[in-house]
Amino acid sequence: MARRRPCGLLLALAAAAVLVAAGAGVAGAQETCSGTVPSPPRRGARVSVDSFGGAGDGRTLNTAAFARAVASIDRLRAPGGAELYVPPGVWLTGPFNLTSRMTLFLARGAVIRATQDTPSWPLIEPLPSYGRGRELPGERYISLIHGSGLQDVVITGENGTIDGQGSVWWDMWKKGTLPYTRPHLLELMSSSDIIVSNIVFQDSPFWNIHPVYCSNVVIRNVTVLAPHDSPNTDGIDPDSSSNVCIEDCYISTGDDAIAIKSGWDEYGIAYGRPSSDITIRRITASSPFAGFAVGSETSGGVQNVLAEHLNFFSSGFGIHIKTNTGRGGFIRNVTVSDVTLDNVRYGLRIAGDVGDHPDDRYNRSALPVVDALTIKNVQGQNIKEAGLIKGIADSAFSRICLWNVKLSGGASLRPWKCEAVTGGALDVQPSPCTELASTSGPSFCTNSL
């Protein structure tokens, strides 16, 4: 099958985004959350995948070579762990697992490329907070790079590429011939002290970067690319994870650039692990869906989120906070600030009727709580619809604050629509819904600022 190469314009924009961030750093010290995970100690050993029978010729299958290299790191038990070096070249491989106290380092010009031999991909159990594969009942394909129960893992390099060759998977999805849920490019489960930096993720079969049940995660200076028509190729999806830092990334994909999740309906409610204490800064993104999203799988709860200095263009939604009847859980204490939008359909959407269900056993009485959301300092041009804030009749969204939100789109700009919501609005254009002028709303809005 012919392989589609990433558009040079996207790579140029990604490079420009990095330069802008670097230039801002010269002008003054930038806030950073990267200290969430301290830099690991110097690794005590270094091994190269080509020393284990690997060949970076784009034809040799290197799955066994990667497995042997990781196993050698596990056996070495070197002081401070060890680095697995991937030299320049194209390293075709099937899925492989990482181990604790290791760095996966991609040299400049190194490409880890996924095999398109889909029947050879192993299956793993569904996540307990989802109860089944996200797309289909039963098991799911393992991610290209995978790890579970790990500590102190670094994936970095000199902007080498992890290429999922996702087109074969997208075609199966479009034709309805998928036997199981598609694989991610990177999934780390039940792990801590994770750093992902200076890597290009490209053409994932499904979600790109998926830390789930993790704590202490830093994702910085990462580029994520996939065609806008590639299905469900979310950029970065922290899921039932805490103490997460996402900074200085460029994302252009076929689904939400960043989406915070925490489990699906009755399975997420039972697992009960929220996503919390998440900071997102200096993201440039384009997507037919959302630049920044929460949900719709939020059954374990999402709380204490700060997202700021965001630049979204040519997208379906700027900010999309989404849940549904049957989700349960909560979304609370979320602040989104300093956002620039250009050519976006919806500036803001907060909705309680989004997303499907894993099966017919979900509890229709499990209503989500959405409370204390602050959206401020948003500037948008070429906007089609200002936004929609639609709560649930028996669980109205409360304490929604909009401040200094200025959206323009000419005479065709559609006004705000609101339902089952209370809160406040200060200095908002076009004029906000009357529901955001309730008695308690303005005082909350003022206090939240």
Q: Which of the following is catalytic: 163, 255, 265, 371? A: 255
State the average pLDDT over residues 271-296.
Answer: 98
Q: Kindly state whether residue 11 falls inside one of the protein's structural domains.
A: no
Q: Are residues 275 and 186 in the same domain?
A: no
- Residue 442 pLDDT class (50, 70, 90 cuts): low
Residue type, 409: G
Helix (H) or strand (E) run with residue 93 in it: strand 89-93
Q: Which of 190, 219, 248 is the last residue of a domain?
A: 248
Residue type, 188: L
State the average pLDDT over residues 281-292.
Answer: 98
Q: Are residues 235 and 325 in the same domain?
A: no
For the stretch 35-85, pLDDT in tens is 999 988 899 999 999 999 999 999 999 999 999 999 999 999 999 999 999
On the question of pLDDT at 297 being above 70, the answer is yes
Q: Kindly state whether residue 212 falls inside one of the protein's structural domains.
A: yes
Q: Identify the pLDDT of residue 411.
A: 80
Give the Cα separation of 139 and 123 in Å (integer). 6
- Residue 445 pLDDT class (50, 70, 90 cuts): confident
Q: Are residues 151 and 205 in the same domain?
A: yes
Contact between 85 and 54 (Cβ < 8 Å): no
Q: Kindly state whether residue 36 falls inside one of the protein's structural domains.
A: no
The pTM assigned to this predicted structure is 0.94
On the question of pLDDT at 313 being above 80, the answer is yes
Counting residues of the chain whose pLDDT is more than 90, the rounded percentage is 88
Q: What are φ and ψ of residue 436, in 5° steps?
A: -95, 25
- Residue 16 pLDDT class (50, 70, 90 cuts): very low
Taking alpha carbons only, the member of 416, 365, 415, 414 closest to residue 393 is 365
- Specify the number of domains making up the chain: 2
Q: Are residues 281 and 336 in the same domain?
A: yes
Query: By residue range, what is the domain housing residue 57?
Result: 47-248
Q: Kindly state whether residue 35 falls inside one of the protein's structural domains.
A: no
50 flagged as catalytic: no
Give the Cα separation of 12 and 224 in Å (integer). 13
Q: 442: which 2 tokens?
A: 């303005």
State the average pLDDT over residues 339-365.
Answer: 97
Q: Are residues 331 and 413 in the same domain?
A: yes
Give the Cα separation of 356 and 135 in Å (integer). 10
Q: Which residue has tokens 């076929």?
A: 254
Give the Cα separation of 92 and 13 in Å (integer). 27
Q: Which residue has tokens 């906000």?
A: 432
Q: Are residues 72 and 115 in the same domain?
A: yes
Average pLDDT in the chain: 93
Q: Which of 202, 220, 248 is the last residue of a domain?
A: 248
Q: Which CATH number is 100's domain given?
A: 2.160.20.10
- Residue 448 pLDDT class (50, 70, 90 cuts): low
On the question of pLDDT at 21 being above 60, the answer is no
3-class secondary structure, 171: helix
Residue type, 102: M
Contact between 201 and 174 (Cβ < 8 Å): no
Give the Cα separation of 281 and 135 in Å (integer). 30
Q: Are residues 240 and 263 in the same domain?
A: no
Largest Cα separation within the chain, whole Å, is 70
Beta strand ranges found along 221-301 (DSSP E): 223-225, 242-252, 258-260, 275-286, 290-294
Q: Using CB atoms within 10 A of its CB, is residue 42 exposed (0-12), middle (13-18) or buried (19+)? A: exposed
State the average pLDDT over residues 211-224.
Answer: 98
On the question of pLDDT at 299 being above 60, the answer is yes
Q: Kindly state whether residue 18 falls inside one of the protein's structural domains.
A: no
Q: Are residues 217 and 311 in the same domain?
A: no
Q: 126: which 2 tokens?
A: 């569904």
Taking alpha carbons only, the member of 34, 305, 16 closest to residue 154 is 34
Q: 164: which 2 tokens?
A: 């999922």
For the stretch 375-393, pLDDT in tens is 999 999 999 999 999 999 9
Q: Identify the pLDDT of residue 29.
A: 78
3-class secondary structure, 52: helix
Q: Identify the pLDDT of residue 18.
A: 46
On the question of pLDDT at 9 being above 50, the answer is no
Q: Are residues 91 and 206 in the same domain?
A: yes
Q: Which of 196, 214, 248 is the last residue of a domain?
A: 248
Q: Are residues 295 and 240 in the same domain?
A: no
Q: Identify the pLDDT of residue 14.
A: 53
On the question of pLDDT at 210 being above 50, the answer is yes
Give the Cα separation of 373 and 370 in Å (integer). 8
Count of CB atoms situated within 10 Å of the CB of 415: 12
- Residue 173 pLDDT class (50, 70, 90 cuts): very high
Taking alpha carbons only, the member of 224, 232, 223 closest to residue 205 is 232
Q: Kindly state whether residue 38 falls inside one of the protein's structural domains.
A: no
- Residue 235 pLDDT class (50, 70, 90 cuts): very high
State the average pLDDT over residues 222-250.
Answer: 98
Q: 391: which 2 tokens?
A: 């709560």
On the question of pLDDT at 3 being above 80, the answer is no
Q: Are residues 292 and 237 in the same domain?
A: no
Give the Cα separation of 217 and 152 in Å (integer). 10
Q: Kindly state whether residue 413 falls inside one of the protein's structural domains.
A: yes
Helix (H) or strand (E) run with residue 12 in it: helix 8-27
- What is the C-alpha radius of gyration for the chain, rounded to an integer number of angstroms? 22
Q: Identify the pLDDT of residue 7.
A: 47
Q: What are φ and ψ of residue 136, in 5° steps?
A: -140, 150
Q: Kindly state whether residue 40 falls inside one of the protein's structural domains.
A: no
Give the Cα separation of 191 and 18 in Å (integer). 28
With b meaning 16 or more CB within 10 Å and e meaning fewer, what string describes 64-74? ebbbbbbebbe
On the question of pLDDT at 2 being above 70, the answer is no
Contact between 127 and 143 (Cβ < 8 Å): no
Q: Are residues 236 and 304 in the same domain?
A: no
Q: 98: which 2 tokens?
A: 């990482």
